[in-house]
Structures are given as C-alpha cells and as structure tokens.
Amino acid sequence: MHIEILVEDSSGEKLLIELLPRILGEHGNPHTWRVHAYKGIGRIPKHLNAGTDPAKRILLDQLPRLLQGYGKTPGIDAVVVMLDTDKRNCAEFLNELKALAANCNPAPHTMFRLAIEEVEAWYLGDRQALETAYPRAKADVLNRYVQDSACDTWELLADAVYPGGFTAIKKAGWPLPGQIKHEWAEKIGPLLDPDRNQSPSFGKLRDGLRRLVAEAV
C-alpha cells in the first residue's frame, strides 16, 4: 500500500518521518509513504474550484486541488491529512474536512487526523520520552497538563522545557518559535513510543494508520 501524507509544517513532517516506521513497519516492507510539509494550515475554501496560488503551499487552501489530483493518480491508495485543531471545535472541523473530501470527484481514500490542540500534545503524551530528551523539564508544569486539553499546548511545553519559558521565546520573536518546534521533533520524536503515548488524538492517528494498512492486506 502507498500512502501520501500531508502536514501543515516542516516540524510535523520531521516528527512523522521519525514515527511512521514505528507505526507501520519498515518503509517498503511492504508499505510505502511520502510526507509532504506545507507552510501553514490556512482555511477551507468556500468553493472547490476557488483559485489559489500553489506556490504559497498553504495546506487547506490547496486541499481541494490536492485531493482531486490524488484521486486521478494511479498508485496512490490513500491520503492522510494531519492538522492541528488550534482553537477550532474538533467535531465541526472534522465534519467540514470530510464534506470537502466527499465533494471531490474523483476523490482518493482520505483519512483526516487532528492533533488536539497542537501536535505538542503528542510530545506531552509520552512523558518518559519528553523527560529523557529534557531531563531538567519542570515537573510542576508537566503535572498541570491535562492530556489533549485546549490550554495553549505548545506554550505550556515551552514553559516546561525552554529556559525562560514561552515568554522568552515570544520576546525573541520569529524565527525562534519555528526553530524550537524543530528541536522538539528532533529531540523528542526519536524517543516517542507509539504504544505508550497517552494522547487520545495520537492514538487515533496510530490506530487509524494501522487499520488503513490492515485493510489493504
């Protein structure tokens, strides 16, 4: 089975490249995949044929065009779209995404998976991996985190592991936030255990991917 995977930024791409062999097995034995990073999430277009600039690589803006293109491409068995919910209502957002895919013709077999509220919830879902990567992480900050809660997740993780916390990152400004997210993917990602992770939204990604390839056998 071959899967195309779309993510909203390059730190998410880096994380998935680390995790997918642990979820699906060795690449090419027997399943294959490609991960594509975009430069932001954007918003769902009101019309499937709305004109957008492909060069800008904003994921939701491009999604109708991408799905219809994949639907016409032989050899692509499924498309997985991974997104942060941010402050959106999870159920409503998922319904909007499914409606978009249903209106594409032809449409590939598409699976949407949402990180609640941000992908940093998945790092916080494996505290053992997080504390191995950051032995000086602040336990009092980590202890107050409720898994997959809407609590400014990446800011909380920053307060736990970055000197000076989120306030220091915000003061420094761009590009530090992006650099920090890449660092987390590089340092925590290789230590994550998919079967130990306590994040419900990560569990849905893991189980959904495994179901997808099991159905292809």
Please give the pLDDT value at position 46: 77
Do 190 and 132 form a contact (C-beta atoms < 8 A)?
A: no
Q: What is the rounded end-to-end Cα distance, in angstroms, of the chain?
A: 8
Sequence letter at residue 157: L
Under-50 pLDDT residues of the chain: none
Please give the pLDDT value at position 53: 67
pLDDT digits (tens, 9 = 90+) for 123-139: 999 999 999 999 999 99
Please give the pLDDT value at position 160: 98
Please give the pLDDT value at position 195: 97
Helices and strands in the chain, H and E counts = 10, 4
Do 153 and 121 form a contact (C-beta atoms < 8 A)?
A: yes
Domains, the chain, in order of start with CATH, read: 2-119+197-216 (3.40.50), 120-191 (no CATH)
Please give the pLDDT value at position 217: 66
